[in-house]
Structure 1
């Protein structure tokens, strides 16, 4: 099954390419071969001089520096080594390190091509071209979208008027002023962990002003917590009496002092936090010993596409469990889903941050990603868009990706609107509200109507391209909708400075504010239009089909619903016609891994902690109705991930699924810590396997027994009894996955079909529940056909990610990573 999914030979992922380079010519395992050759009377070729980049591919270097390894010929003496970049001697940067390797940090690289040469013993020479991009990006995600408004040391108020109006700026948490690319000078601060852990607060010890100034008031500052768990540390002052110690995972007990590096990368603001000894130096070639070489990458939640630079959503202080064990933790606002919904740009930022760590702190053993909701999207999409950036992920509130999650959002918006139309009100006029809601639940595929209401309110307007007035479900029982009077937009810009669908011609040149326009360098524009191509589509979708077949709704309700449900245009404005996707965007979504690819996900170790968030009316034992304010993280999404991996890789044994319900979305007890420690064990075993076994097989072989699937039944008040019989888990109504509107319409649970292929209406599909008149009306609705779910989606194809978008939308596969050549 796995081999049948392989395309020709796409470009290697960044980490995979580095691994291939490091594996080549290392001299390991040559003894037997050498003996055989000697016995056969053949002379083994002498090892040549070789140059390797350590932290990234040589053609994807950023920020003007690169950690480089020189592999010397066997008889070459280190003192004879001469290294130069663009003719400039950098030999002094290189030395033999504690691990026996000859490495050095090459700095001062120019933007573009840089020729690195090395010469040693007997005149042997090698050359490698390094291609360097600025820290402001981009590298391979295409042209950066403008306008984009930089953060400032103190937030500034809105300025200008009309089309030239600018939004208020966010506080950067940095002292320097941004340049034109939003680069701000990097800063370092020291903090220590207080022993007053029982009552301390994990808030940031350096919060930024949160409210921009006005004409009459200065920026409103937020003071540090009075009982902060982490406090500023002055290495020149006396040792704090309340300074804690910590023991790392390799049994080093050290003072709990943390250095926080804050800077900018790819127009995002980042924090890097790690245990630090102020009395000792730290370099990439000589890291401090309390860092275990492991990286924990935290991704922020939600989703959005505002055009304002901001600090990361996650406070590094909240990751003390990782920091205290010796991990380096990192986050960047461009990898926070609420701030950036261009997933290729997000993955590029992860690559750039990992290179920053490699070049500034030392080689990385492995990287674990983590996040909830939008953070789970970014975790999974890294594994799909650029496999190898993350070696393992631990997620909660899991979604597979943003494009296919949009299917349920869009369907719920259309259905909630349709339920309020007079045609449905007329059909349901004699029913009780409970009967009406039961029909809605059957069509939606959810336990009740509240989940679609939640999608409508939380993200129903997220696709709006310009100025709009929010519409919200005001009554969770009836589904009544109200419209707010104040217009807004999703760019977080003044309304006068963005596109307005009410004035399409006059404002066509102004920024558009939906996810597809934000990622326009990936999707491209609609020919002859300033709008971006996108993937939204509901042509041929028969809403409520399963509900009809099961007798939950009548034939008249089914036909009427599909007559009136309609679709949206590119601005997300409702219309009578169905929504139609752009074929080029569909093909890009699959080829680039933007639709999370099971084949790519299979290469990553996954622990998915799936809680209950399917309803805020029907709740498990121990919860109060209304606890889940926006129930949108549905059980079935975790199974969609599993189904995709199994379909494309033969099995989903790289995904551990830990289910619970009693505590909502928050893992109970020590589950989150257990997942972190189990994933650490899993990745340690994975990296210990240096065989040539394919990565997806290594991941499965390294999986620890402690990661096996289980559930905690909601009736278990202690939440401590792990049930491993999946049939028992599935029998519980709060652990069993429900459906989505597309699945009720006949679609697969893996929900990876963005636009279906069509087939003619077949009378046999409706269980005899439609009369001749209703069938005729249905054929009129679906004049081009209904979804044929037995076929792949339109444009659906095997992912060949990662793709390079430097040359424009659509992307092309990367070639092999550059290697040094003899001179």
Structure 2
């Protein structure tokens, strides 16, 4: 979390936190950790690192504060870094404080020593600063290899060497994918971004990424024909240059400085209002910056082994933040589609915030935002590394990646099971229409209809595959009529070419069809990308993972409600099976690795309600539960005008219940969820109607402004709740409200609307909690008396005993390995991680 003088250190399990402050007042903090100062043996001298903890510094520089009694500091200090005099790096800030940016730190330990120049006055103080290279890692463990650097222009694939992406930078990468940083100036034109003759807010130098699957190089994307942002030459005054007034009352030309570079092997963009005629130093920032940081996280999820530019919301589209004086930032390693290792993602956020503090100055607070995979990264920052983000505004929200994988995995198995011969024959023998069959699928899935699981199957059903595979899809091949028919029947078709999830040539990755010869080639799922976190199974190259469905009774609540018959229930659970470590279907259920389960919970990778409770959250929850049954104002799925595809939302995967899963976790772990605001709507799908999205930004700004100046000694959880603005209360917009302007604050009214009431997941229908954070259930013996109102025949019960020989899920107990988060963890010493511990402090010598 970032700086402010009144913010207190968090209690366990968060071992450290920085508190945001202005350099002119008190200790600056950053990225969730306390500075490196101690009591200095009586307080004569203290040394603190301001931009990060002293043991988590990177990129060879660190902003440092030295304090001593004012009357004594005027007599002079000797300041040595690794034996060299660096006193000239420090400037007086008043009140006995010196602040300076130390540069040229070597990789590893650096010793900073401070003593009074007059002998006999006070003590000598020493602080060890541990520096990691700009390319990382710091606490995420060994970096995955191979990893291919971006180049100034994309290069085609050659044999087993993949195509490279265009970096957007002119320099060549070094062996660690570091590319020299570049800065450019842009000005905002006076042209409006909507209406007749509107300009484009698209990025003025578009990304140029190659196709890593088949090695082709697409055409260079064209810059917008009428850009809202144009290159600016310092000292000029273009006729169409806009002028703005910031939130701190400064009027100036709308000129931004764009910094692009690499950090932790990701490519980043930083944009902020800038006056080219003035100097900007971390100890003296330009006044138009309000000290606030807006961090955008990208959507989807993936694990390509190729460096790329980020796909998160472009800086050029964030003009509301920029014109008010915010600094906006994104990095491809915090872009979910480019990096699914969530510990590595949080490490990158920490490194970016340190770089901002070292380069631009103290951060007042940081707001995170994102949809879908971007919401995962927002929430997982709060859980894995409390304090990195001060608050988040999310949409299309998921709690985290591991528990979202539960629904992906269950849906994948169910879609396959529904097409198996025994299941199809059973439904045929019952004389069911397709509509009746689909109603049964919806009841088992927990969704309004069958389309939600089919969408998961298409979009991410193959994301867990570690090697070469051929995609199987529902309704994504053929002409429009065939595709619509497939969505109705759930018919699966196989795409007629092979691919992999690494974005590498197929010859360069593991192939389950030839496991021995390719055993040592890269695996391509999220657990392999995060092998430094999860570890491997024995001496094999197979990563440990958390996938499991042992004991899960699919369709249990549908059976108890009479939505399916006993025979359907038994047959489904006989047929569903599971997958092996190569994500190949098998008759046996899927088995998780116990060590991976424990790591997932201890690290906060399974989002911890206790950690989520420490920050303000505004959740913009739209409708994405079906592409067949849709609220008023939306169009159902249909053949498009060319007759070759589907219009409307064809991947309904952002189900509403996920917001309640988060609320349930926070309530369970913290007593209430009064730090989370739910703003619900359905008429406009996932997109917030009107100005609701902007209002969420404004309200979170108001909330965080109050939070960082809250003067009490209360816990952070109490402060978050005490400073919650009235505007942050829950509300909904009913879908039959054509103007989307009548806000309903009565939650009973909201819950009664069929389009605003959350549905469920397959695991919840199987009896699991809505918190959806039991990765692997503990088991209990089958008990015939527990199926109230259900009559099994003796033959059916014998079949159940065969399917569930080890027992069925006991949802009254915690999951296997489930425990409180001890985050943040460090993985420097290997998979599994260890608590990071307290920040280093300066000591007398």
Which TM-score band applies after superposition, normalised by the shorter structure?
over 0.9
Note the alpha carbon deviations across 1:144-170, whole angstroms, 9 max, x for none. 0000010000000001x3xxx111100
Partner of 2:455: 454
8 Å Cα contact 1:548/1:769 also seen in 2: no
- TM-score between both structures, scaled by the size of structure 1: 0.94
Note the alpha carbon deviations across 1:493-539, whole angstroms, 9 max, x for none. 00011000000111000000000010000000001321000000000
Matched, 1:93 2:92: no
Closer, same or farther in 2 for the Cα pair 1:539/1:25, shift >3 Å? Answer: closer
Note the alpha carbon deviations across 1:192-233, whole angstroms, 9 max, x for none. 000012411011111244557999998732232121011100
2:47 to 51, 58, 72: 51
Closer, same or farther in 2 for the Cα pair 1:206/1:8, shift >3 Å? Answer: closer
Closer, same or farther in 2 for the Cα pair 1:486/1:571, shift >3 Å? Answer: same
8 Å Cα contact 2:206/2:223 also seen in 1: yes
Cα distance in 1 for partners of 2:345, 2:820 equals 21
Partner of 2:683: 662
Partner of 2:796: 774
Partner of 1:255: 253
Cα distance in 2 for partners of 1:214, 1:539 equals 34
Closer, same or farther in 2 for the Cα pair 1:581/1:728, shift >3 Å? Answer: same
1:603 to 614, 619, 627: 614
Offset of residue 7 of structure 1: 9.8
Matches within 5 A, 1:13-412: 13=17, 21=34, 47-78=43-74, 80-97=76-93, 101-120=97-116, 122=121, 124-159=123-158, 161=159, 165-198=160-193, 199-211=198-210, 220-236=219-235, 238-314=236-312, 315-412=314-411
Cα distance in 2 for partners of 1:23, 1:14 equals 10
Note the alpha carbon deviations across 1:400-448, whole angstroms, 9 max, x for none. 0000000000000000000000111111112100000000000000000
Partner of 1:817: 839
- TM-score between both structures, scaled by the size of structure 2: 0.92
Partner of 2:464: 463
Note the alpha carbon deviations across 1:750-776, whole angstroms, 9 max, x for none. 000000000011112222232222111
Note the alpha carbon deviations across 1:288-309, whole angstroms, 9 max, x for none. 0000000000000000001010
Note the alpha carbon deviations across 1:46-102, whole angstroms, 9 max, x for none. 632001011100000000000001112242134602222101111111112489842
Offset of residue 345 of structure 1: 0.3
Offset of residue 815 of structure 1: 1.7
Name whichever of 654-663 and 219-228 sits farther off: 219-228
1:509 to 520, 528, 531: 520
Partner of 2:766: 745
Matches within 5 A, 1:619-638: 619-626=630-637, 627-638=648-659
Query: For 1:117, what is the secondary structure of its paired residue?
Result: strand
Cα distance in 2 for partners of 1:323, 1:406 equals 36
8 Å Cα contact 1:7/1:798 also seen in 2: no
8 Å Cα contact 1:97/1:286 also seen in 2: no
Gaps of 5+ in 1: 1-5, 28-44
2:604 to 593, 596, 608: 593
Closer, same or farther in 2 for the Cα pair 1:72/1:99, shift >3 Å? Answer: closer
Matched length: 796
8 Å Cα contact 1:467/1:487 also seen in 2: yes
Gaps of 5+ in 2: 1-9, 21-28, 476-485, 638-647
Partner of 2:434: 433
Closer, same or farther in 2 for the Cα pair 1:715/1:10, shift >3 Å? Answer: closer
Note the alpha carbon deviations across 1:322-346, whole angstroms, 9 max, x for none. 1111000000000000010000000
Query: For 2:43, what is the secondary structure of its paired residue?
Result: coil
Name whichever of 697-706 and 747-756 sits farther off: 697-706
8 Å Cα contact 1:213/1:219 also seen in 2: no
Query: For 1:58, what is the secondary structure of its paired residue?
Result: coil
Cα distance in 2 for partners of 1:71, 1:111 equals 26
Offset of residue 250 of structure 1: 1.4
8 Å Cα contact 2:111/2:127 also seen in 1: yes
What is the Cα-based RMSD across aligned positions, in Å?
2.1
Query: For 1:313, what is the secondary structure of its paired residue?
Result: coil
Offset of residue 117 of structure 1: 1.2
Matches within 5 A, 1:700-719: 700-719=721-740
Partner of 1:757: 778
Closer, same or farther in 2 for the Cα pair 1:408/1:215, shift >3 Å? Answer: closer
Matched, 1:524 2:535: yes
Offset of residue 275 of structure 1: 0.2
8 Å Cα contact 1:306/1:340 also seen in 2: yes
Partner of 1:12: 16
Name whichever of 495-504 and 227-236 sits farther off: 227-236
Query: For 1:682, what is the secondary structure of its paired residue?
Result: helix
Cα distance in 2 for partners of 1:215, 1:348 equals 31
Partner of 1:652: 673
Note the alpha carbon deviations across 1:720-745, whole angstroms, 9 max, x for none. 11101001000001100001000000
